[in-house]
Structure 1
Amino acid sequence: MAAAPGRGGIHRDGRAAYLFLAPALLFFCVFLVLPFLFAVVLAFSDWGGFDLGTIEFAGVSNFADVLRFDGSFVRPILVNTLLFAVGSVTLATFGSVLVAYCIDRLSFQGFWRVLYFLPVVATVVAIGNVWKMMYQPAGLINGVLNKLGVNSIGFLSDSSYALPAVTVVHAWASIGGAVLILTAGLKAIPEMYYEAAEVDGANSWRMFWQITLPLLRPSLLFVLITQFIGGLQSFALIIVMTTDGGPVNSTNVAAFEMYQQAFKFGAWGTASAMAMVLFVIILAITLLQLWIARRRGEETS
Structure 2
Amino acid sequence: MVNTLAPKAPAPRPLGRRPASPAVEGRARHRRQSVVAYLFLTPALLFFAVFLILPLGFALLLSLSRWTGFDLGDIDPVGLDNFAALFADGATFLTPVLTNTLLFALGTVALALAGSVLVATCVDRLRFQGLWRTLYFLPIVTTVVAVGNVWKYMYEPGGLVNGVLNALGFGSVAFLADPDTALPSVIVVHAWASLGSAILILTAGLKSIPESYYEAAALDGAGPATVFRKITLPLLRPSLLFVCVTQFLTGLQSFALISVMTKGGPGDATAVAALEMYRRAFSYGDWGTASAAAFVLFAVVLAVTLAQLWLFRRKGEDA
Map 1:138-217 onto structure 2 (within 5 A).
Answer: 138-217=158-237
Q: Residue 44 of structure 1 aligns with which residue?
A: 64
Counterpart check, 1:233 vs 2:240 = no
Counterpart check, 1:84 vs 2:104 = yes
Instruction: Point out the more displaced range, 91-100 or 4-13.
Output: 4-13
Q: Residue 133 of structure 2 aligns with which residue?
A: 113
What amino acid sits opposite 2:53 in the alignment? V
Say which of 220, 229, 241 aligns to 2:240: 220
Distance 1:252 1:58 in 2: 27
Say which of 299, 305, 318 aligns to 1:286: 305
Distance 2:31 2:248 in 1: 43
CA shift digits 1:113-165 (9 cap, x unpaired)? 11111111110000000101101111001111111111111111111111111
Say which of 245, 251, 271 aligns to 2:264: 245
Gaps of 5+ in 1: none
What amino acid sits opposite 2:292 in the alignment? A
Contact 1:170 1:237 in 2 (8 A): yes
Distance 2:178 2:71 in 1: 41
CA shift digits 1:12-63 (9 cap, x unpaired)? 4323322332232222222222211211111111011111111110111110
Contact 1:69 1:75 in 2 (8 A): no
Alpha-carbon distance, 1:260 to partner: 0.3
Map 1:128-143 onto structure 2 (within 5 A).
Answer: 128-143=148-163
Distance 1:36 1:103 in 2: 43
Alpha-carbon distance, 1:235 to partner: 0.9
Alpha-carbon distance, 1:178 to partner: 0.8
Alpha-carbon distance, 1:7 to partner: 4.3
Q: Residue 30 of structure 1 aligns with which residue?
A: 50
Distance 1:95 1:69 in 2: 40
Distance 2:88 2:218 in 1: 58
Change in 2 beyond 3 A, CA 1:92/1:69: farther
Change in 2 beyond 3 A, CA 1:58/1:143: same
Contact 1:68 1:74 in 2 (8 A): no
Q: Residue 143 of structure 2 aligns with which residue?
A: 123
Distance 1:19 1:192 in 2: 49
Alpha-carbon distance, 1:69 to partner: 5.2
Distance 1:179 1:17 in 2: 38
Change in 2 beyond 3 A, CA 1:23/1:180: farther
Map 1:255-274 onto structure 2 (within 5 A).
Answer: 255-274=274-293
Alpha-carbon distance, 1:286 to partner: 0.6
Instruction: Point out the more displaced range, 20-29 or 119-128.
Output: 20-29
Distance 1:69 1:99 in 2: 46
Alpha-carbon distance, 1:8 to partner: 4.5
How many residues align structurally? 297
Distance 1:26 1:222 in 2: 30
Distance 1:235 1:175 in 2: 18
Q: Residue 95 of structure 2 aligns with which residue?
A: 75
- Cα root mean square deviation, aligned: 1.5
- TM-score normalised by the chain length of structure 2: 0.90
Alpha-carbon distance, 1:205 to partner: 1.1
Q: Residue 16 of structure 2 aligns with which residue?
A: none
Q: Residue 93 of structure 1 aligns with which residue?
A: 113
Distance 1:174 1:21 in 2: 34
Identity %: 63
Q: Residue 11 of structure 2 aligns with which residue?
A: none
